Structure 1
Amino acid sequence: MYRKFAIAMLAAFVGQTQAKVDATQAERLGRDLTPLGAEAAGNQAGTIPAWTGGVQPPAGYEVGMHHPDPYSADASLYRIDAGNLDQHRQQLPEGLSDLLVRYPDYFLQVFPTRRSAAAPQRIYDATRENAVNAELIANGNGVRGAAAGIPFPIPQDGMEVIWNHILHYKGEQNRFINNQAVVVNGKTSLIRRDRHLYYVYNREGTTLENLDNTLLYYKYVVTAPAKLAGTALVVQDPLDQVLTTRKAWRYSPDNRRVRRLPTLAYDSVQPDTSGLATADVVDSYNGAPDRYEWQLVGKQEMIVPYNSYAVHQKGIAYDSIVKSQHLNPELLRYELHRVWVVDATLRTGYNHPYQTRRFYVDEDSWQIVAVDLRDSKGELIGVQESHPISYYELPMFNSTLETLYHLKSGDYFVDGLDNNEPMYDFTAQMSPRDFSPQALRREGN
């Protein structure tokens, strides 16, 4: 009932509904396009291979392990640093070029391109249906006609691409323990969090009738350092955040109270990040797209983080990964991939540190892998990276580590450090009832 009412209300405010592709176009999926909409063939130069279904788990892999590197035998093709940057600048996000110039000890190791991204067959099937049924509504702030899968596998504009990222498959539920690092003036502070995610969109059994404008539920409890231990947060995330705002509550062990946060979206600062991370930079971009104008620049071959298994391996000390100015480049892997390039420009009347953003979105998975960030003067002030891997047990392709560099101050933020924690549990038992203010108080105690 609620969903039918919501759709009716949204339809009344639609400025322009995006067109679906016709059946002829949709038939390309699984033929010259992959099931999620990427070009199946390699490039003419042979430096990008054809997609053949994604990576298979290496021999000896068992669920619960830190995912072993299936490409550990690959030799680096070349290294990019400040000395040879001009030879590669056109294929690099501008923010990465800036890091190479700014830090003489920083470099990129470029490896053979491996198109490892994959998803379950039911996600492929849903994506095929979405191609002829899904559409943007409410001026692009909502999606109708999809309950799972990539909504716009053959995108027509930038907003469709960003929705593909927001809604790409990340499993049905996930319990994981990892650390975020705040690096200020070269000094690192770690916060360890026990985190839970429950997805409604992309969940097996979710239909258009029971989606109920809910995207996901999220909760974490801080377990270290001691001064923050017990601090907890819960978020209820709607699919259309203009129709229904995101709800968030925070528990403080100091006063043993749960309070509703007035906002945890857009440019509001994430708690416990020393002001380095706004709410909408989680997963490179999340939340409502309504405050930006979105332009699809096109598809380009770019050198981006990919198959980042080396930095994900078990037992690596966090101070071996997080250095005083940047991540340890010895542990990072870059490859040449086709990416969708999308520019976002802040609309008049809104404020945000990032006036414009340029997103680089992997064609195979729809994961954002890099973002250039500019201020109101057009100056490049930041760069984000997502270092992705394939999680074999689902399968699912998503970031294992995310960074946000502040180029003016030299400070940076890292999220996802899990090398010395139990591996993700995609079968953890949970339900929407576990993501209420009442449950938050129980978690904090």
Structure 2
Amino acid sequence: MKHLMQNAIFSLLLLTSTVQAAVSPDQAAQLGSSLTPLGAEKAGNADGSIPAWTGGLAKNTGKKSPQGFLDDPFASEQPLFTITAQNAEQYQDKLSPGQLAMLKRYPDTYRLPIYPSHRTVALPEFVYKAVRANAERAQMIEGGNGLNDFQVAYPFPIPQNAQEVVWNHLTRYRGGSMKRNSVQVTPEKNGSFVPVKFKMEFAYRDQLKDYDPAKPGNVLFYYKEQITSPARLAGNVLLVHETLNQVREPRMAWLYNAGQRRVRRAPQVAYDGPYPASEGQRVGDNFDMYNGAQDRYEWKLVGKRELYIPYNSFKLDSPTLKYADIVQAGHLNPDHTRYELHRVWEVEATLKPGERHIYAKRVLFIDEDSWQIVLADHYDARGTLWRVGEGHMQPYYDVQVPWLAVDTLYDLLNGRYIASGLRNEESQGVEFGTKPLAADYTPAALRNSGVR
């Protein structure tokens, strides 16, 4: 770990203009030896509380139900201990400011059950090969706002600055393409909620049937979400073309309003514009813990540290639970959460002078094994910690995709929160490996998918 941090700090000092060079062949050779194929430290920590990475979960680890739910390989485990407001000081060196703030905000109900750590991330071999090639070729361009010579996922497995770490999160492998039904909730302070149900799908450009690698263009992936309930929102559809360089060519987004039967451009679905159907509890770049352009912030790589983070969250995805079992006043029911000790990259983003955003500072904590943001702290213009994000990571081991079971954004000031990705009561599972057409992701196609 010390060696990695020395490399990162040294590279920060050398970082200059608009193009950041890839690493040397000697550095890249660490991938698969002292580092995992994605660039994490393969070894465990000194006291063994973080184990060595030995390849992650096998594809046949457990069974998959007809509804798409996976067996929990750790169902029989019990917490090693539980962190509460009363004993938090004892563990504060391994807790984020946001976690400490949540314990203080909800001293009687919020807690972190700590389980044994398991390094379960595994990806397909073709992804590992692409990552090795990226390490020696991929570059940031235009001040970190775009990429060159990048393929598949994870352009910077051996990151040399904060923006490269963030790019690994933005481009992480999510199965290439996917469809799923999911539920979002924004509970009132008393815990009451109305589920908002979505049909969601996305596809990376190289997963399209009509993709031409000779003309890749600037679109990284296509995303579409249709609301199916409640009735007042049903039929509304959001379409996004996510661009690689969002400064040169901003994200393109459209909204179909079922009541008006109109398609409108939606430039507000970016930065701190309100995110649809979120009741003001999330802005555009809060989705997926963090997304979109990085140009409004100055980025700093703080370093690596060990934290208790939400991990292997199979229980939160269990079909034996109802949404009412999980959603409660203030935060998710901690009876169903799971935290483990893992190494994370810590990245700090500070709003540039003259730029506008409701978050003056953000601190992101990124799991070293998956490059998934698992914790995110958001500060207002007064420097007050305002919102706390948690990404409850779960590996879809049958298809070798590390992703989120549920992600939450807690508002410390108004006592409300938003939780996305719930699917416990849904009858249709996640479908990976779809092969759509580019025509499926055009504004014209929204009118067909948005009928009530």
Q: Would the TM-score normalized by the shorter structure come out above 0.5?
A: yes
What's the counterpart of residue 346 of structure 1? 351
Q: Does 1:185 align with 2:197?
A: no
Instruction: Indicate which of 29, 32, 46 corresponds to 1:30.
Output: 32
Q: Does 1:159 align with 2:147?
A: no
What's the counterpart of residue 400 of structure 1? 405
Instruction: Indicate which of 266, 280, 296 corresponds to 2:301.
Output: 296
Instruction: Indicate which of 336, 339, 345 corresponds to 1:331.
Output: 336
d(CA) in 2 for partners of 1:45 and 1:337?
13
- Verify the 8 A CA contact 1:173 1:196 in the aligned structure 2: yes
- Tell me: CA distance 1:210–1:119, structure 2 relative to 1, closer, same or farther (3 Å): farther
- Verify the 8 A CA contact 2:207 2:436 in the aligned structure 1: no
TM-score (norm 1): 0.94
- Tell me: CA distance 1:127–1:429, structure 2 relative to 1, closer, same or farther (3 Å): closer
Deviations 1:27-76 (A, max 9, x none): 00000000000000101111010101111243433675212211112221
Q: Does 1:72 align with 2:78?
A: no
User: What amino acid sits opposite 1:245 in the alignment?
Assistant: P
d(CA) in 2 for partners of 1:205 and 1:17?
31
What's the counterpart of residue 199 of structure 2? 194
- Tell me: CA distance 1:26–1:207, structure 2 relative to 1, closer, same or farther (3 Å): farther
What's the counterpart of residue 432 of structure 1? 438
Aligned Cα root-mean-square deviation (Å):
1.7
User: What amino acid sits opposite 1:403 in the alignment?
Assistant: T
- Tell me: CA distance 1:414–1:303, structure 2 relative to 1, closer, same or farther (3 Å): same
User: What amino acid sits opposite 1:399 in the alignment?
Assistant: L
- Verify the 8 A CA contact 1:147 1:211 in the aligned structure 2: no
Segments of 5+ residues of structure 1 without an aligned counterpart are 1-13
Q: How does 1:4-403 map to 2 (within 5 A)?
A: 15-56=17-58, 57-61=60-64, 65-103=68-106, 104-186=108-190, 187-200=192-205, 209-403=214-408
Q: SS at 1:160's partner residue?
A: helix
- Verify the 8 A CA contact 1:180 1:191 in the aligned structure 2: yes
- Verify the 8 A CA contact 1:182 1:413 in the aligned structure 2: yes
User: What amino acid sits opposite 1:130 in the alignment?
Assistant: N
Deviation at 1:424, TM superposition (A): 0.4
User: How much identity, in percent, do the aligned residues show?
Assistant: 41
- Verify the 8 A CA contact 1:177 1:418 in the aligned structure 2: yes
Deviations 1:92-115 (A, max 9, x none): 111111111211121110000000
What's the counterpart of residue 6 of structure 2? none
Deviation at 1:250, TM superposition (A): 1.0
TM-score (norm 2): 0.92
d(CA) in 2 for partners of 1:123 and 1:205?
21
Q: SS at 2:285's partner residue?
A: helix
User: What amino acid sits opposite 1:270 in the alignment?
Assistant: Y
User: What amino acid sits opposite 1:430 in the alignment?
Assistant: P
User: What amino acid sits opposite 1:178 in the alignment?
Assistant: S
- Verify the 8 A CA contact 1:171 1:426 in the aligned structure 2: yes
d(CA) in 2 for partners of 1:203 and 1:33?
32
Deviation at 1:347, TM superposition (A): 0.8
- Verify the 8 A CA contact 1:76 1:112 in the aligned structure 2: yes
Q: SS at 2:389's partner residue?
A: strand
- Verify the 8 A CA contact 1:167 1:201 in the aligned structure 2: no
d(CA) in 2 for partners of 1:49 and 1:43?
7
> How many residues were matched structurally?
432
